[in-house]
Amino acid sequence: MNVGRGLFRAWIFISVIWVLAAGVGGYFVYIEPDVMRGVYAPHGLGKDGKVSWQTDHPKPFYESFRSHSADNLKVNFHPIEWSIQKQLEGDNRIVVASFPDRSRLWLYSEFNQADRDYIAKQFWEQRWLRLAAASAIVALWAIIPCIALFVIGYGLLWVGRGFRDHIQDAS
């Protein structure tokens, strides 16, 4: 009877089941609702590098904000928290752009059409980066427990073999 081989096969079986379950669960719990159907906003659009959805801007819009299409700037995006979404829903200062993957982008209504199109194009082009980052988190969540189980199992097997070798030497 080879206990090590049996435990290795059990580890493979358990790991395959875990990775499949974690992948499917991660997709439906995290990736699909938060990444694919998520609500995002551009990050750092102001001339000072900041943006706040909840403050009125006393100056004309383009004195506080840069024209990304005119300056050919790269735009980064961040998800909008649920509590802020509820506060700002229906705010006339916000224009919502929807995309085929069901994600949404919130922009200031004061942006001209060229800036809206430019920012929306960058948002759509970065969808694979957002998906890859979320998939990496799910993959780590799926793989790390499998590695930990292998290390613990191998460690226990190693300790057990040490006792067996010691008993055989004493005989």
Specify the pLDDT at position 14. Answer: 96
Least confident range of 7-11, 26-30, 103-107, 161-165:
161-165
pLDDT at position 71 is 86
How do residues 15-66 score in pLDDT, each as one tens digit?
999 999 999 999 999 888 888 888 998 876 666 666 555 455 667 777 778 7
Residue among 145, 149, 153 nearest 4 (CA): 153
The pLDDT assigned to 57 comes to 62
Q: Are 15 and 146 in contact (CB under 8 A)?
A: yes
Kind and range of the H or E run holding 97: strand 94-98
In the three-class reduction of DSSP (H, G, I as helix; E, B as strand; rest coil), residue 89 is classed as coil
Considering only residues 164 and 156, tell me which one the structure prediction assigns the higher pLDDT.
156
Q: Does the pLDDT at position 90 exceed 50?
A: yes
The residue that leads in pLDDT, 2 or 46, is 2
Tens of pLDDT, residue by residue over 107-160, are 888 889 999 999 999 999 999 999 999 999 999 999 999 999 999 999 998 888
What is the number of helices (H) and of strands (E) in the chain?
Answer: 6, 4
**DSSP summary character for residue 81:** P
Q: Cα angle at 33 between 32 and 37, to 5 degrees?
A: 90
Write out the DSSP string of 116-129.
Answer: HHHHHHHHHHTHHH
pLDDT of 95 > 90? The answer is: no
